[in-house]
Amino acid sequence: MIIKDKKKYAIGVDIGGTKILLMIANKFGKVIHKKKVDSTGDLNDILKIIDVFLDEVNIGINEIVGMGIGVPGEINSLDGIVRVSVQMGWKDTNIKEVFSDRYAFPVYIKNDVNFSALGERWIGNGDNSDNLVYISIGTGVGGAIIANGHLIEGYNFSAGELGYIVDKDDFDKESINDLEGFGSLERKISGHTLTQKVSEMGISPEELFIEFKKGEQSAVDIIEVFIRDLSIAIANLVSTLNPEFVIIGGGVSESMHCIIDQIITCVNRLTIFPTNVKLSKLGGEAGAYGCIYYVFFEATEDTTSSIKKVRSK
Query: 3-class secondary structure for 238-282?
Result: HHHHCCCEEEEECHHHHHHHHCHHHHHHHHHHHCCCCCEEEECCC
For residues 18 and 38, is the Cβ–Cβ distance under 8 A? yes
- SS3 for 36? strand
What is the per-residue pLDDT for 85? Answer: 87
What is the per-residue pLDDT for 181? Answer: 66
Kindly list the structural domains of the chain, giving each domain's residue range(s) and its CATH number in brackets, ordered by start: 9-116+284-299 (3.30.420.40), 127-280 (3.30.420.40)
What is the per-residue pLDDT for 25? Answer: 96
Q: H helices of the chain, where?
A: 43-57, 95-102, 112-123, 168-172, 186-189, 191-198, 205-214, 217-241, 260-270, 286-294
137 HSE (CA, 13 A, CB side): 28
Pairing of strands 81-85, 74-76: antiparallel
What is the per-residue pLDDT for 1? Answer: 44
pTM: 0.90
- SS3 for 101? helix
What is the per-residue pLDDT for 18? Answer: 87
Q: H helices of 162-216, where?
A: 168-172, 186-189, 191-198, 205-214
Question: pLDDT digit string (tens) for 96-119?
Answer: 999 999 999 999 999 999 999 999
The interaxial angle of helices 43-57 and 95-102, nearest 10 deg, is 40
The total number of residues shown for the chain amounts to: 313
What is the per-residue pLDDT for 198? Answer: 92
pLDDT below 70 — which residues of the chain?
A: 1-7, 175, 178-181, 300-313
What is the per-residue pLDDT for 304? Answer: 38
